[in-house]
Amino acid sequence: MFGELKIVASSDGQLESEPVYVPWPLLEHFKGLLLWLPLVLSIGLIPANRNRQVLWLVLLVTLAKMGMALLTVVTSMPTSIAGIFEYVAFGPLVVGLSVILLMGDTLGRHPKRITWGASVVILLLAHTVGLLAYGHSDELSQGLIFVAIMDSTILLAVPLAAWCCHRRYSGLRLALWLAAWTVVLSLVTVGIYGIIDLWDRPSLSMAMEVVLAALAFAGILFIIQLPFVLLGMLNPLFRPKFTALLGLARQKEGRQ
């Protein structure tokens, strides 16, 4: 449906106002697809990514999208919050992490600070595209604060976990360090926000709520990161991209 949308206020089928016509452009139906455009371009424009193995990443992203949709239904999330959840927060995060992984071998050729800076830019661009797809709402400012906390935690946890594995690397070791740093940084970032928000009414119960919220937040972020880590460790297409991105080499590669 597109064209002019007719809105009429009525009660019990009785007309109570003059109709109001609101333009409903055809492109409005496709605006939600804008979020996924960076992922499509990363697959289509980079020859090395035009590989059947990339379907595993497509499957991961599809399952993530289905999971987000299911969560909004199960929790009876208001439409405005659900939009921020999908288009501003977690949707762009999944797209951004996917693009970073797809470009891992290219990003990994540069010094670590350049690799990290490029990853920041990719995530920011993904969120910007998500904002363009979403539009505006009264809850958007809170959503952007959440995005800032989420992205800063991940962008620090991943390189710190990789640094802790620079002498001895294994998949399990990396996952454990990633979990540990995600918890520590979540306690810091969520804790700082909680202190600012509760500065004028401090209490022990409030402090415990902030800690529990930080732990729950860390659990959600780790669940989001783990499939990308597993894909990067186990898939033959993404393994060299993943190790190059993090500046790691497997022990057996180091012994050769």
> Given CA atoms 8, 10, 14, 18 in this order, what sign does their dihedral have?
negative
26: DSSP letter? G
- Check pLDDT > 80 for residue 7: no
Overall average pLDDT of the 95-101 stretch:
94
Kindly report the pTM of this predicted structure: 0.81
d(CA 185, CA 232): 23
Bridge partners for 23 per DSSP: 4
DSSP string, 203-252: -HHHHHHHHHHHHHHHHHHHHHHHHHHHHHHH-TTHHHHHHHHHT---HH
What local confidence, expressed as pLDDT, does residue 204 receive? 75
pLDDT in tens, 211-223: 899 999 999 999 9
pLDDT in tens, 44-65: 998 999 999 999 999 999 998 8
Residue 228 burial (C-beta neighbours within 10 Å; 0-12, 13-18, 19+)? buried
- Check pLDDT > 90 for residue 227: yes
What local confidence, expressed as pLDDT, does residue 158 receive? 92
Reference 36, options 87, 84, 72; nearest CA is 87
What local confidence, expressed as pLDDT, does residue 65 receive? 85
Query: CB within 8 A of 226, min separation 6: which ones?
Result: 175, 178
What local confidence, expressed as pLDDT, does residue 256 receive? 42
